[in-house]
Amino acid sequence: MGHMKTPQKPATGNENPLLAEWSGAFGLPPFGSIRTEHFRPAFNCALAGHRAEIDAIAANPEAPSFANTIEALEKSGRALERVASLFFALAGADTSDEIEAIEREVSPLLARHNNALYLNRALYSRVADLHARRDTLSLDLEQARVLERYHTRFLRFGAALEKTAQERLAEINERLASLGTRFSQNVLADEKSFAMELEETDLAGLPDFARAAAGAAATERGRPGKYVITLARSSVETFLQFSARRDLREKVFQAWIRRGENGGDTDNRALIAEMVALRAERARLLGFASFADYRLDDEMAKTPQAARALLDEVWKRALKKAAAERDALQEMIAREGGNFALAPHDWRYYAEKLRKARYDLDESQIKPYFQLEKMIEAAFAAAGRLFGLSFRPVEVALYHPDARAWEVTDAQGRHVALFIGDYFARSSKHSGAWMTALRDQEKLAGNIRPIVLNVCNFSKPAAGGPALLSFDDARTLFHEFGHALHGMLSDVTYPLLAGTAVPSDFVELPSQLYEHWLEVPEILQTYAVHAYTGEPMPKGLLERLLATRTFNQGFATVEYTACALVDLDLHSLPDAPALDIAAFEREALERIAMPPEIVMRHRLPHFQHLFSGGGYAAGYYSYMWSEVLDADAFAAFEEAGNTFDPATARRLRDCIYSAGNRRDPAEAYKAFRGRLPTVDALLKKRGLVEATSSR
Ligand SMILES: [Zn+2]
């Protein structure tokens, strides 16, 4: 796949392993010989190579054809793609001060490079010419889609605008790229700088697994014998759920919700104000009323109004359910003789107690049944039943000892993909969980199969002990694995359309849908086995666990939907001069009557979905939009009377998991389901239906 058509030998030429084709097993990068200092020269060389390719395509004296323009674009930039995908995988999963420094330098360079590509007039006029003649070019459906996508991209980038507007857009894009990098590094810095060190006597209420994880975190920090709570979601949330120490819960909760809002160098508020203003300006230059209008025009939802209509529908039901939940928690506090009003740092603690009382179920009783190893097996097994995939562990050199690899094959034993799982939290890793690819699937440059990564932040067990997950962690594992399947099963010709390259309100369908198979009784019966006794989860416990699925869903829905509504509000501003972010957030929450006992799942100063690169800016509603799809899609299996129904699974694979962006998402969904989705299955799944009937 080497596409350095103009081989310019840089000074470091032959010694830089990043500039050669990847020669590792399964096409992996040669991790053993890559050093951080290789990235700068590799980026420089790969950028120059791609620039030369683009110039050659734009200056081609022959009349534009699909082959000499669109296919040529698709074949270009391979070295850059390789270097960038590896670099950003490491910047997320195993970063360092040096990598962060390179990231700050490179992100504006990449933005400038993208500007040069999509604001290139000669190139755009070739694409526009082809687009105008598209019906006469004898293109197949996939080719027509690639052409359409390129044309839309150029237009949305501003290729058709006059020169001064283009220059301003280029400036805006570069500035946004730098700001996004700084935003994300600031959040990581605030997370790293906080560690709540505890003594044995401070651990009241914490179950064994939580003590073990806090002990391991202390050891990792060179404080053996102590206990440390960090701002990793799994560490904080576990503590909030179990700690009987109200003072400590408040302390860690305050640190958690103030990430990016602590004043000083790592404060993100001014960055956000600038980003919002720049995005609004970009949208105006491109002829849209607001950034949200611009963003959603190219999504499945099409308009902010459509997204908001769904959120409003869910919001009013969620508020009612959350109010009932709050009353039950307050009652519990009163029964215990507590003389205080439920605060945000109390919610998870009392919810856990109520869950235990109501369902005779507590997290520490469930947790031994969710071993990381077994949950990985479970995710693989479901993929075997649905799509005929097999997974074989392979020994290959990777970037960190905690990362592991499996070769994925299909029912005929053919190679499908390489899958890498990197599951444990560490200080060199950004928070959250995500899927990324070191290589995408395509057939244009030969039968290229993908290399896909899942990165999570589960607590690492103390040496020798089993890694135990919460039920939520297990769900996260299935979620990211659903994204991984979307990448691994991809079966398209053109890389532009591969795998997860779909609109962001559609991309969560394969991941959220996959979560449903964790909850299928036969999967739980087989893989939820006790870490110490090897016994499967007793039937009664399993039933009670599944019965709790709608427990506390008012809280979860409010916590999420508030974020989606504030995001849409913020990005619907037609202009944002000198925006006071704290005031904006407060007022936006007042407008929707946010309950004071609940804090947004991601407050604006650390809302990485919106500001670390902007992948979900004006797009956080996507999770709910996709949930409408996933709930409705899973109902297709229930209607078939078999959660692994082969015919339904076949359609799911053909129309969704392997289809990439070959067609419009609404059409793809209709091909799978025979109709567009309805919101009913979602409301039922979240236990919000009762509110419907009482309306
Ligand atoms: Zn996802």
Find out whether 392 and 409 touch, Cβ atoms under 8 Å. Answer: yes
Q: Is the Cα dihedral 502, 616, 293, 171 positive or negative? A: negative
pLDDT of residue 2: 32
What crossing angle do the helices spanning 97-118 and 78-93 adopt, rounded to 10°?
Answer: 140
Measured CA distances, 440 to 444, 445, 507, 565, 687 (Å): 12, 11, 16, 33, 38
What spacing in Å lies between the alpha carbon of 476 and ligand 1's midpoint? 9
pLDDT of residue 236: 95
Measured CA distances, 52 to 3, 57, 77, 102, 418 (Å): 11, 9, 10, 23, 32
According to DSSP, the β-strands at 415-424 and 451-458 are parallel
What spacing in Å lies between the alpha carbon of 579 and ligand 1's midpoint? 30
Distance (Å, whole) CA 419 – CA 383: 13
Measured CA distances, 320 to 326, 327, 574 (Å): 10, 11, 32
Q: pLDDT digits over 383-409, tens only?
A: 999 999 999 999 999 999 999 999 999
How many CA atoms are closer than 13 Å to the CA of 574, on its beta-carbon side? 3
Measured CA distances, 465 to 375, 402, 456, 513, 532 (Å): 16, 15, 19, 31, 10
First-to-last C-alpha distance (Å) of the chain: 60
Q: What are phi and psi of 442, to 5 degrees?
A: -170, 165
What spacing in Å lies between the alpha carbon of 183 and ligand 1's midpoint? 21
Query: Is 536 a residue whose pLDDT tops 60?
Result: yes
Report DSSP letters for 85-113, one per residue.
Answer: HHHHHHHHHS--HHHHHHHHHHHHHHHHH
- The helix (H) or strand (E) run that includes residue 224 is none
What spacing in Å lies between the alpha carbon of 238 and ligand 1's midpoint? 22
Q: Which one, of 650, 651, 648, 643, lies nearest residue 671 by Cα?
A: 651
Find out whether 628 and 677 touch, Cβ atoms under 8 Å. Answer: yes
pLDDT of residue 14: 57
Q: Output the pTM of the full model.
A: 0.85
What spacing in Å lies between the alpha carbon of 331 and ligand 1's midpoint? 36
Residue written as token pair 């209008």: 293
Find out whether 344 and 597 touch, Cβ atoms under 8 Å. Answer: yes
Query: Is 548 a residue whose pLDDT tops 50?
Result: yes
Neighbours of 14 (CB within 10 A): 9
Residue 11 DSSP symbol = T
Query: Is 570 a residue whose pLDDT tops 80?
Result: yes
Q: What's the pLDDT band for 10 if we cut at 50, 70, 90?
A: very low
What spacing in Å lies between the alpha carbon of 398 and ligand 1's midpoint? 24
Q: pLDDT digits over 300-357, tens only?
A: 999 999 999 999 999 999 999 999 999 999 999 999 999 999 999 999 999 999 988 8
According to DSSP, the β-strands at 403-409 and 415-424 are antiparallel
Query: Is 3 a residue whose pLDDT tops 90?
Result: no
Report DSSP letters for 645-679, one per residue.
Answer: -HHHHHHHIIIIITTTTSS-HHHHHHHHHSS---S
Name beta bridge partners: 529: 536
pLDDT of residue 694: 35
Q: Is the Cα dihedral 400, 403, 404, 405 positive or negative? A: negative
Q: Which one, of 288, 286, 298, 289, lies nearest residue 162 by Cα?
A: 286
Q: Which residues contact 664 (CB under 8 A, 6 or more apart)?
A: none
Neighbours of 527 (CB within 10 A): 24
Measured CA distances, 335 to 340, 345, 552, 634 (Å): 12, 19, 20, 41
> Alpha-carbon dihedral of residues 160, 164, 165, 168, nearest 10 degrees?
130
What spacing in Å lies between the alpha carbon of 311 and ligand 1's midpoint? 18
Kindly state the average pLDDT of the residues 655-680. 95
What spacing in Å lies between the alpha carbon of 460 and ligand 1's midpoint? 22
Q: pLDDT digits over 227-257, tens only?
A: 999 998 889 999 999 999 999 999 999 999 9
Q: pLDDT digits over 51-109, tens only?
A: 999 999 999 999 999 999 999 999 999 999 999 999 999 999 999 999 999 999 998 89
Distance (Å, whole) CA 439 – CA 453: 10
How many CA atoms are closer than 13 Å to the CA of 685, on its beta-carbon side? 24
Is 480 noted as a catalytic residue in this protein? Answer: yes
What spacing in Å lies between the alpha carbon of 334 and ligand 1's midpoint? 39
What is the residue-averaged pLDDT of the chain?
93
Query: Is 182 a residue whose pLDDT tops 50?
Result: yes
pLDDT of residue 690: 61
Q: What's the pLDDT band for 363 if we cut at 50, 70, 90?
A: confident
Q: pLDDT digits over 142-181, tens only?
A: 999 999 999 999 999 999 999 999 999 999 988 998 999 9
pLDDT of residue 693: 38
Find out whether 411 and 388 touch, Cβ atoms under 8 Å. Answer: yes
Q: Which one, of 548, 551, 552, lies nearest residue 366 by Cα?
A: 548
According to DSSP, the β-strands at 434-439 and 451-458 are antiparallel
What spacing in Å lies between the alpha carbon of 504 and ligand 1's midpoint? 9
Q: pLDDT digits over 423-474, tens only?
A: 999 989 988 899 999 999 999 999 999 999 999 999 888 777 899 998 989 9
Kindly state the average pLDDT of the residues 33-48. 96
Residue 448 DSSP symbol = B
Query: Is 116 a residue whose pLDDT tops 80?
Result: yes
What spacing in Å lies between the alpha carbon of 501 and ligand 1's midpoint? 13
What spacing in Å lies between the alpha carbon of 511 and ligand 1's midpoint? 6
What spacing in Å lies between the alpha carbon of 58 and ligand 1's midpoint? 37
Residue 67 DSSP symbol = I
Find out whether 618 and 295 touch, Cβ atoms under 8 Å. Answer: yes
Q: Which one, of 168, 186, 75, lies nearest residue 445 by Cα?
A: 75
What spacing in Å lies between the alpha carbon of 483 and ligand 1's midpoint? 7
Choose the catalytic residue: 174, 299, 363, 480. Answer: 480
- Tokens for 347, please give them: 């919610």
pLDDT of residue 209: 85
Q: Which one, of 362, 369, 352, lies nearest residue 544 by Cα?
A: 362
